[in-house]
Amino acid sequence: MSGVRRASRPSGWSRIVSGDRPGHPVATALVVLLLVLLAVAPFVFPGTRSQAAASRICVFIVLAASFDILLGYTGIVSFAHTMFFAFGAYGVAIPLANGWVGWHAILVGTLGGTALAVVVAAGIGLLSLRVQAIFFSMITLAVASFAQILATQLRDLTGGEDGLTFSLPRVLTPAYRLLPDPVLGVRVDGRLVTYYLIFLAALALFLLMLRVVNSPFGRVLQAIRENAFRAEALGYRTVVYRTLANCIAAAVAALAGVLMAILLRYNGPQATLSFTVMVDILLMVVIGGMGTLYGPALGAAVIVLAQFYLQPGLQAVSDQLAGLPLLPSLFHPDRWLLWLGLLFVLIVYFFPAGIIGSLRQRGR
């Protein structure tokens, strides 16, 4: 993990990223490349599948970065992050699926989901963080599994395993035409509007998070991560700071959930609440580099692209190995998680700083 970084008097571009630059020419290039590609994605990579991948990357950048506030900046492991993600998604899905279509419903759902996330996050934090930070991981795991059971059991409210399908305001539907003529060969329809809504919201949330971690508050979080005992001795109430970090991360995760629901026009346990999503987020943050915010953004892009385009590859390997003992079942596409888990362990061992962290260390 990189130590506490201090920015020298930010100005110009630097102010937008709160004085926190990627920290190495290659890292900067990667981040800028990612930003530019996402900004022009609908025009450069037309097609439903690539647009779905690009929107997914945007949503997961927000989700992974908010998880990094906990994992990388505060040094606590939460397994309830998908729960907060799901709060936001269900917040929007429940009113819309019950026939209340319109921006009001989205707004109310967003506020409701986020408020619930903050309250629950505060409760978990105050309950578990006042003794040992390690309780936090265990309790979040228990609470998250409880939420998963609730989501599948409360069928009237959440649609159970099937989830909720709903329609969005007309502006966000593919049938809507913003401009009569195509721009650069791409139809300016509701799908494009949806993409840019998600992209801009993700960008704004990411910059906001950069602001948070580079504020005096963010410095305290990093101090707690480095040495909780010393931070406490200096007069910072570690419980309060860690709980606040948990609340902020939960709120942002809920907002990411809102974006996810808008993107999918659906929400269900598999989409936002499952343990697989949690593993994905962990991987994104660890691959990209804990405690850097830019790292999780890159990690999100890597993992989402891998999911979209490598899973068919696994099928091909499995077909090649047909007839051999055991090997085909190891390379079965459903064993995707096995390879992610292996990758995850190897990275935590040999590459704990992740992409951005390693580049920063080299640049120093």
Partner 1 sequence: MNAARLDWPSWVVVPALVALALPAMSFATWITLTVAGTAMGMMLFLMASGLTLIFGLMDVLNFAHGAFITIGAYMAVTVLGAASGLVAADSLGLNLLALLAAVAAAAVVAGAVGWGFERVIVRRVYGSHLRQILITMGGLIIAGQLVIALWGPQPLLLAKPAALRGSFVLAGAAIEKYRMVAVGLGLIVYAAMHLTLNRTRIGLLVRAGVENREMVEALGYRIRRLFVLVFVAGTALAGIGGVMWAVYQELVTAEIGGEMTILVFIVVIIGGLGSVTGCFVGAVLVGLVANYVGFLSPKLALGSNILLMVAVLLWRPRGLFPVGRE
Binding site residues, partner 1, CB under 8 A: 71, 75, 77, 127-128, 130-135, 137-139, 141-143, 145-146, 149-150, 153, 275, 279, 282, 286, 326, 329-330, 332, 334-335, 337-338, 340-342, 344-345, 348-349, 352
CB closer to partner 1, 290 vs 356:
290
Cβ contacts of 22 within 8 Å, gap of 6 or more: 28, 30, 31, 292, 294, 356, 359, 360
- Closest separation between CB of residue 36 and partner 1, Å? 32
- Closest separation between CB of residue 41 and partner 1, Å? 31
CB closer to partner 1, 36 vs 138:
138
User: By C-alpha distance, which of 49, 50, 33, 32 is closest to 41?
Assistant: 50
CB closer to partner 1, 187 vs 332:
332
- Closest separation between CB of residue 96 and partner 1, Å? 27
User: By C-alpha distance, which of 282, 300, 286, 278 is closest to 143?
Assistant: 278
- Closest separation between CB of residue 22 and partner 1, Å? 23
- Closest separation between CB of residue 287 and partner 1, Å? 12
At 338, which amino acid appears? L
CB closer to partner 1, 250 vs 263:
250
Give whole-number Cα distances, 275 to 55, 58, 195, in Å: 21, 20, 26
Question: Interhelix angle for 133-153 vs 81-97, to 10°?
Answer: 30
d(CA 159, CA 253): 22
CB closer to partner 1, 13 vs 350:
350
State the Cα torsion 240-243-249-251 to the nearest 10°: -100
User: By C-alpha distance, which of 340, 337, 336, 287 is closest to 313?
Assistant: 336
CB closer to partner 1, 252 vs 340:
340
Cα of 32 vs its chain's centroid, Å: 19
- Closest separation between CB of residue 342 and partner 1, Å? 6
User: By C-alpha distance, which of 90, 7, 10, 38 is closest to 297?
Assistant: 38
- Closest separation between CB of residue 297 and partner 1, Å? 19
Cα of 98 vs its chain's centroid, Å: 27
Q: What does the block give as tokens for 197?
A: 């809504």
- Closest separation between CB of residue 145 and partner 1, Å? 5
CB closer to partner 1, 16 vs 134:
134
CB closer to partner 1, 58 vs 63:
63
User: By C-alpha distance, which of 341, 292, 306, 305 is closest to 65?
Assistant: 292
Count CB neighbours of 169 within 10 A. 16
Beta strand extents in the chain (DSSP E only): 164-165, 266-267
